[in-house]
Structure 1
Amino acid sequence: MNNKLKGALTLLLILAITAGFCFLGVNGAGDIKLGLDLNGGVSITYQTVDPNPTSEQMSDTIYKLQLKAQGYSTEAQVYQEGSNRINIDIPGATDANEILAELGEPGTLQFADSSGNILLTGDDVKNATAGMTNNNGKNEYIIQLTFNDAGATKFADATAANVGKPIFIIYNDSVISAPTVQEAISGGQASITGLTDYEEATRIASTIRIGALPVQLTELRSNVIGATLGQEAISTSLKAGAIGLGLVMLFMILVYLLPGFTASLALVMYTGLELVILQAFEVTLTLPGIAGIILSIGMAVDANVIIFTRIKEELGLGNSVEGSIKAGYSKALSAILDGNITTLIAAAVLYLRGSGTVKGFATTLAIGIIISLITALFVTRGLLWCFVQFGATSPKLYGVRKEIKVIDFIKFRKIAYTASAIVIITGFVFLGMNKASLGNLFNYDLDFQGGSSTNVTFNEDLSLEEIDAKVSPIFKEVTGGDASVMASKVSGTNEVIIKTRTLTTEERTKLYKDLVDTFSVDENKITTENISGAVSREMKVDAVWAFVIAIICMLIYIWIRFKDIKFASASVLALTHDVLVTVAFYAGLKWAVGSTFIACILTIVGYSINATIVVFDRIRENLADPDMKKDFGACVNTAISQTLTRSINTSLTTFIMVIVLYILGVSSIRDFTLPLMVGIAAGAWSSITIAGPLWFDLTNWATKRRADKLAKEKAAKAEAKTTKKAANN
């Protein structure tokens, strides 16, 4: 088989696979699960049986219900309404009765003996998980129980007194399991065996977890809620995404010629495969999820930019096209793998340790990273070789990089440090000013600090567009232009739910009057309840811990891969710089801080660490040159100059995606993409002017410290020798 035929068959195969993924992805796009903000879902309100629960009981109950609700969707939200109500929003669901049947009525959990004596309660249970074990070659389904300290003591006493007898697990007066005690069990852990299948194990484990609530709840109401963005907004966002992707492809072709064309084809495959996987894994897509996709597209383009830049360099050295392609992929591999694996580690930690918004972001980011690696390292490469076999061996088709002009970034590092410090310090000043004027460091959205939820029954069924045009302005006027006003419909009714900041008595009175005067609604059909933030204190703590653990894991990985903690330290400092710069803009411009704030910061972290690693990879490579190893400043300047084109081009392609979404998207998407643009700019700035110079300063400091230590040791030895000589004399 000659090369042209082989190339033709390979090209046809890749194009066929691309077309297949695109067809399946686009054809099934309607099956992708969308979050409440994109497609609505089911909203259920529970009320405590005890009319006066404590704040601690409510907080603990909300957190445990959040864990349960995430079994239906990672983007589920649970928040307090009034003093003794809890609302659960489950995106993507359309049948409230089905959800209620599956969720079950949260109630009381008890462990009792055969005489009916209560041995333990749900308060003693820490966790319950379904699992599978192998017993003599046969799979058995089990439930692993974990008790808290008090529960462990009670369970040890209970099992010791009931060996050979069943212990009844009772949920809302119904026995859900009655395992027989085989022996006394201490240590706070136990297993329930003899289950029929994994579904039964999962159901019982879930019931035990949800039953371990501090308060008993009863269902108050359930509704199917319409999307807060509307179908028109979704359509506009999709068009914006398509236009942005088209512009990125055009940019790649204009800058990188034939390789850019192959990368564009790979991006088409990437998009189709992304859609297919979102459908296959039933991922719930929300605004934070879209952020993960945007970041992964940026990283997919970045991988190609790194490779193509290397190919241009090899061609500039006079190598053949075939040799340049091989060398380009070989030399770019370490930077691509390190950058993507580091971000993938962060995504894994965020998924395992985070909750809600963080999980949704981590899921789409991880999927995107894996797909981007496949398309960049295999698809684009396969396409390039196809064209080479067709005879595309002229360097003009690939672009030849001329000799790189080395810029002295080290010389200007203090200016860069000072400029960044001014922005960050100004941000802290604004935080203080916000605390004085707003009572909070940031302009917190409803998700973070709660507000008021007003339910209005209109005389006609208004569309979401009519609500935005006629109803929302009334609420904004009453609240003094509150930017966090969110409206949603109750499907199948004339009811509309509008969430705002907390309303005063005077504002509530004026609001009711304006609604009656404007729409002739029945004032008795208007109700307002104060609600807690959907992002609970525990969820915020989870997000912070996930962020901290992810940073530590990335630091360890970079330390191991680069065999130098100074690389890891400099990368984390640069990353912290990007986050603080973005936070400064949030504080100074009073951008609303809600659940999307978390996703925005996480996006910036992933983007920043990837950009920094590309520079560090070149520094590591340059250190192999003996001359460079003697002059760290020249090493850093050369590395940054070599990667400057990549840093600019990658930032531009990612910026294009985001700015098109900002221009064409609806207001909630603009609120999200604007901070992203700041983060992208901060990441580009730090990777070029901060990260490398920081490594330089840390290395010089370590070298000087080591030299001082050696000098002191040498002086001490000389002094000891002199003393010994004097003593001998």
Structure 2
Amino acid sequence: MKKFKQYLAFLVVLLMLGGLFYVAWFGVTDKSGEGEVKKQVGSMHDIKFGLDLAGGASITYKVEGKDGKTPTSQEMDDTVSKLQKRVESELGTTEASVYKEGNDRITVEIPGATDKIFETLSTPGNLYFIREYNSDGKANYQRIYGTGILSEGVTIDSLKNNGGIVLEGSDIANARAGINNESSRKYVVELSLTSEGTKKFAEATTEAAKKGWSIGIYYDGKFVSVPTVNEAITTGKAEISGMESYEEAENIASTIRIGGLDVSLKELRANVVGAQLGSSAIHTSKRAAEIGFVFIVLFMLIVYRVLGVSASIALGFYCCLEVILLSAFEVTLTLPGIAGIILSIGMAVDANVLVFARIREEIASGTPVDKAIGAGYNKALSAILDGNITTLIAALVLGIGGTGSIRGFAITLALGIIVSMFTALFITRIITRIIYNLGFKDVKFYGKAKALKKIDFVQKRKVFYAISLAIAIAGIAVMGVNHSKGNGAFNYSIDFVGGTATTITFDSVPSIDKIEKEIEPAVMKAANSADKNLNVTSISHQVVEKEKQVILKTITLSTSASESVGKVLKDNYGAKDVTYETISATISNEMGRSAIVSTIIALVLMLIYIWFRFKDIRFGSSAIIALAHDAIMVIMCYAFSRIEVGSTFIAAVLTIIGYSINDTIVTFDRIRENQHGIRSEEELKSMVIDSINQTLSRSLFTSITTFIMVLSLFVVGVNDIRIFALPLMVGVVSGTYSSICIASQLWFGFKNKSLKASGAYKTVKAKKTADNLS
């Protein structure tokens, strides 16, 4: 009867997995009307994809300044920022691409957009300075807003009628962030007003200063700042203080400038565009995931036997849940998002490998299998939690502070971490217990940890440091040589430096296969042959079916290259017309700065967390140095290989940081467990060597499973996917190397130095001598 219940439980688990698979792949029936089936779509087919994977809508505006003048560079940059913020707030998507085209045009590309957003984007955002109170004419003052929102019943129209609005956007001449050195370097926003605005503000601030009121700055339906007025401001120059950072001050200044823009947007064209990465990108990514999954399952079954069965079933749960949640939360999936999923799959397997290694250690020490399973989960828990939480910290910071594809990467990574912890700690444990109760109780089904020959990684630490330093120096040398030749230290893509958009009009649009396999190679050959200084290595294309056009985006083409490309397209591929336009970078300075700042904040928070958990800042500092090492190795990969540095560059570096910290934490957790009773430098060294060797198989096996996933992307994926996968493979190898050969050795060096400085070794030695004499 007891075994029957176990069989029943195992059947329930399989049925649950089957049900999740059905929902993920085939979907649930959506009925409407009188029981008619409206649609039946699986979560897999309902996932939203970004512009790079599935295309979307594109709209181009002509920007006109005051009195029809050409807008200034600052006005263009601020308008781009305004449109980016509008898209994010109106659509709730961070995956839009906004860039300048020529001197007076801006193009906005949005995945899955509707006509409504185009109307919203072309309507300028309104900026108002609103007084806190307003008189009804009888000196009875009414509160206009409180706690950052307009009071109930108060509208912008009513405020315009009763004088509650002090200034409008047109009254602002300029706004910029600054530092007030007279007040201990406080961050401020410096305002300049027009002559009309100066008069209005003088009157309003005189009254507000007397009564201690504030004047709120209201843009696009919300308050961005609510400063109190300390004194009457009559000179047309004002200063808003109280910002905690220069970035906060710059954000407020940028918003005020945007609200004060005196430009108009005229729609030139709006079209549906195809995927930037080609039609086969999604298909090949799915195929790569399937191949990688199969190889991981085989690897787990061969290495871990019965435990591998548990892990494989749990991994199936993970994949199904991940797909369902991506669809349920309407996450827009882009190439960086795929990186987050790949990393979380590796971490899902990692948690299982960590537990299984502990179980085998317990069995090898003579613990019965039943108790070894429980002990394995209990002893591995701290390392699993610490590794996942540190990575989750990075994901949360990047999700809150990042922009664009960085936020998309963070969301998928955070979601994957949470799901992977659930499946590893609960699903795998339940399945393992059921299989054990079914009669698989013999040690042969689980295996024992084998005593392997110890490798003295600590003794060779200087060799490891030298290898890493040599790679970094060689990479810097290569960067210098390339820069001196005029090729640039890195091969930057149009995402960072802008380029040329070549619009080709046909009688009928060629097939995607012909564009990718014939036209794009021909364009690259023509451009590079015409101008020997060019090195066009990749092209992204977009198809505009309605206009019978294909848009090819490349690095900036010279006049000779453009003429050569045009001739080839007209002579060989029947192009009716070919036009060229310079386009700006899609990754703005603000996005790059946001990614850097968010990464630094994440590293600081990880350092604090590791310090708190391990009670030793040397663990945190060693881990951060190891992360910097891995980031440098990935960057060197771009320098050596000259693959394009584009939007996926940031995602690749962040992916490896997340992977590496998890790997390092596991080794540190074992050091923390083993470090007790250390009496000499030799004992400290021996303890670190033991800890590294005890976690060595786990580090290698996790790296193998993660590497398998990335390798499958590299082998099966299209060119853009392979360009992304190559630095990831380098990063996985580097992350494993730094965890084994760098991080722990750094900790040993820091710890050994502090113990020597404190005299701890000498004290212990003196005490032993005294004990012997007595």
TM range, normalised to the smaller chain?
0.7 to 0.9
The 5 Å alignment of 1:173-184 reads none
Structure of greater relative contact order (alpha carbons < 8 Å, 6+ residues apart): 1
The aligned counterpart of 1:720 is none
Please say if 1:535 is aligned against 2:587.
yes
Q: Are the structure 2 counterparts of residues 685 and 454 from structure 1 closer, same or farther at C-alpha, using a change threshold of 3 Å?
A: same
The aligned counterpart of 1:392 is 440
Say whether the 8 Å CA contact 2:681–2:761 is kept in structure 1: no
Which stretch shifts more, 578-587 or 321-330? 578-587
* Counterpart residue identity of residue 40, structure 1: G
Please say if 1:495 is aligned against 2:546.
no
Please say if 1:464 is aligned against 2:484.
no
**By how many angstroms is 1:244 displaced?**
0.6
Report Cα offsets for 1:261-299 as digits up to 9, x if no partner.
111001111110000000011101111000000000000
**By how many angstroms is 1:126 displaced?**
9.4
| Separation (CA, whole Å) in 2 of partners of 1:215 and 1:702 | 62
The aligned counterpart of 1:4 is 3
Please say if 1:114 is aligned against 2:161.
yes
Say whether the 8 Å CA contact 1:304–1:376 is kept in structure 2: yes
Say whether the 8 Å CA contact 2:169–2:259 is kept in structure 1: no
| Separation (CA, whole Å) in 1 of partners of 2:525 and 2:475 | 30
Say whether the 8 Å CA contact 1:575–1:608 is kept in structure 2: yes
Report Cα offsets for 1:385-431 as digits up to 9, x if no partner.
11122121111111111224322111111111111110011111122
Secondary structure of residue in 2 paired with 1:507: helix
Please say if 1:14 is aligned against 2:68.
no
Which stretch shifts more, 662-671 or 393-402? 393-402
**By how many angstroms is 1:236 displaced?**
2.1
Please say if 1:482 is aligned against 2:536.
yes
Which stretch shifts more, 464-473 or 599-608? 464-473
The aligned counterpart of 1:57 is 75
Say whether the 8 Å CA contact 1:160–1:184 is kept in structure 2: no
* Counterpart residue identity of residue 603, structure 1: T
Say whether the 8 Å CA contact 2:679–2:761 is kept in structure 1: no
Q: Are the structure 2 counterparts of residues 459 and 470 from structure 1 closer, same or farther at C-alpha, using a change threshold of 3 Å?
A: farther
The 5 Å alignment of 1:646-665 reads 646-665=698-717
| Separation (CA, whole Å) in 2 of partners of 1:209 and 1:19 | 55
| Separation (CA, whole Å) in 2 of partners of 1:614 and 1:550 | 19
**By how many angstroms is 1:382 displaced?**
0.4
Report Cα offsets for 1:61-96 as digits up to 9, x if no partner.
323322322343221111111112111111233x3x
Please say if 1:617 is aligned against 2:658.
no
Report Cα offsets for 1:160-190 as digits up to 9, x if no partner.
7699xxx99999xxxx9899xx99977979x
Say whether the 8 Å CA contact 1:47–1:220 is kept in structure 2: yes
Secondary structure of residue in 1 paired with 2:267: strand
**Aligned partner (choices 609, 613, 617) of residue 565 of structure 1:** 617
The 5 Å alignment of 1:609-648 reads 609-624=661-676, 631-648=683-700
**By how many angstroms is 1:102 displaced?**
4.4
The aligned counterpart of 1:506 is 560
The 5 Å alignment of 1:191-340 reads 211=259, 213=261, 215-340=263-388
Please say if 1:577 is aligned against 2:602.
no
The aligned counterpart of 2:429 is 381
| Separation (CA, whole Å) in 1 of partners of 2:668 and 2:121 | 50
Please say if 1:41 is aligned against 2:56.
yes
Say whether the 8 Å CA contact 2:122–2:265 is kept in structure 1: no
Secondary structure of residue in 2 paired with 1:656: helix
Secondary structure of residue in 2 paired with 1:47: strand
Q: Are the structure 2 counterparts of residues 360 and 701 from structure 1 closer, same or farther at C-alpha, using a change threshold of 3 Å?
A: same
Please say if 1:441 is aligned against 2:489.
yes
* Counterpart residue identity of residue 114, structure 1: N
**Aligned partner (choices 458, 461, 466) of residue 418 of structure 1:** 466
The aligned counterpart of 2:734 is 682
| Separation (CA, whole Å) in 2 of partners of 1:209 and 1:389 | 68
| Separation (CA, whole Å) in 2 of partners of 1:268 and 1:636 | 36
The aligned counterpart of 2:23 is 24
**Aligned partner (choices 191, 200, 205) of residue 150 of structure 1:** 191
Say whether the 8 Å CA contact 1:461–1:493 is kept in structure 2: no
Q: Are the structure 2 counterparts of residues 310 and 170 from structure 1 closer, same or farther at C-alpha, using a change threshold of 3 Å?
A: closer
| Separation (CA, whole Å) in 1 of partners of 2:356 and 2:752 | 33
Secondary structure of residue in 2 paired with 1:114: helix
Report Cα offsets for 1:322-356 as digits up to 9, x if no partner.
11011100000011000000000000001111111
The aligned counterpart of 2:118 is 100
| Separation (CA, whole Å) in 1 of partners of 2:596 and 2:216 | 39
Q: Are the structure 2 counterparts of residues 309 and 115 from structure 1 closer, same or farther at C-alpha, using a change threshold of 3 Å?
A: closer
The aligned counterpart of 1:715 is none
Please say if 1:89 is aligned against 2:104.
no
| Separation (CA, whole Å) in 1 of partners of 2:742 and 2:546 | 56
Which stretch shifts more, 531-540 or 54-63? 54-63
| Separation (CA, whole Å) in 2 of partners of 1:397 and 1:278 | 36
The aligned counterpart of 1:357 is 405
Displaced runs of 4+ in structure 1, greater than 6 A?
Answer: 115-118, 124-127, 151-156, 167-171, 176-179, 182-189, 207-210, 627-630, 708-711
**By how many angstroms is 1:434 displaced?**
2.3
Which blocks of at least 5 consecutive residues in structure 2 are unaligned? 26-41, 130-158, 177-187, 231-238, 242-254, 529-534, 764-774
Report percent identity of matched pairs.
46
Say whether the 8 Å CA contact 1:316–1:400 is kept in structure 2: yes
Which stretch shifts more, 15-24 or 149-158? 149-158
Which stretch shifts more, 222-231 or 613-622? 222-231
| Separation (CA, whole Å) in 1 of partners of 2:103 and 2:648 | 26
Which stretch shifts more, 436-445 or 369-378? 436-445
Q: Are the structure 2 counterparts of residues 222 and 388 from structure 1 closer, same or farther at C-alpha, using a change threshold of 3 Å?
A: same
* Counterpart residue identity of residue 330, structure 1: N
| Separation (CA, whole Å) in 2 of partners of 1:407 and 1:23 | 48
**By how many angstroms is 1:627 displaced?**
6.9
* Counterpart residue identity of residue 502, structure 1: T
Report Cα offsets for 1:640-698 as digits up to 9, x if no partner.
10011011101100000111111111000000000100000101111111111111011
| Separation (CA, whole Å) in 1 of partners of 2:524 and 2:671 | 53
**By how many angstroms is 1:49 displaced?**
1.1
Secondary structure of residue in 2 paired with 1:269: helix
Say whether the 8 Å CA contact 1:490–1:496 is kept in structure 2: yes
Q: Are the structure 2 counterparts of residues 380 and 527 from structure 1 closer, same or farther at C-alpha, using a change threshold of 3 Å?
A: same
* Counterpart residue identity of residue 76, structure 1: A
* Counterpart residue identity of residue 77, structure 2: S
The aligned counterpart of 2:39 is none
Q: Are the structure 2 counterparts of residues 419 and 208 from structure 1 closer, same or farther at C-alpha, using a change threshold of 3 Å?
A: closer
Which stretch shifts more, 117-126 or 598-607? 117-126
TM-score by length of 2: 0.80
The aligned counterpart of 1:588 is 640
Please say if 1:597 is aligned against 2:649.
yes
Secondary structure of residue in 2 paired with 1:70: helix
Say whether the 8 Å CA contact 1:311–1:324 is kept in structure 2: yes
| Separation (CA, whole Å) in 2 of partners of 1:285 and 1:178 | 29
Secondary structure of residue in 1 paired with 2:48: coil
Please say if 1:451 is aligned against 2:471.
no
Say whether the 8 Å CA contact 1:292–1:361 is kept in structure 2: yes
Report Cα offsets for 1:702-726 as digits up to 9, x if no partner.
2223239999xxxxxxxxxxxxxxx
Q: Are the structure 2 counterparts of residues 324 and 501 from structure 1 closer, same or farther at C-alpha, using a change threshold of 3 Å?
A: same
Say whether the 8 Å CA contact 1:7–1:385 is kept in structure 2: no
| Separation (CA, whole Å) in 2 of partners of 1:708 and 1:334 | 29
Q: Are the structure 2 counterparts of residues 156 and 661 from structure 1 closer, same or farther at C-alpha, using a change threshold of 3 Å?
A: farther
Which stretch shifts more, 504-513 or 346-355? 504-513
| Separation (CA, whole Å) in 1 of partners of 2:759 and 2:515 | 71
Q: Are the structure 2 counterparts of residues 178 and 482 from structure 1 closer, same or farther at C-alpha, using a change threshold of 3 Å?
A: closer
Which blocks of at least 5 consecutive residues in structure 1 are unaligned? 128-146, 190-206, 712-729
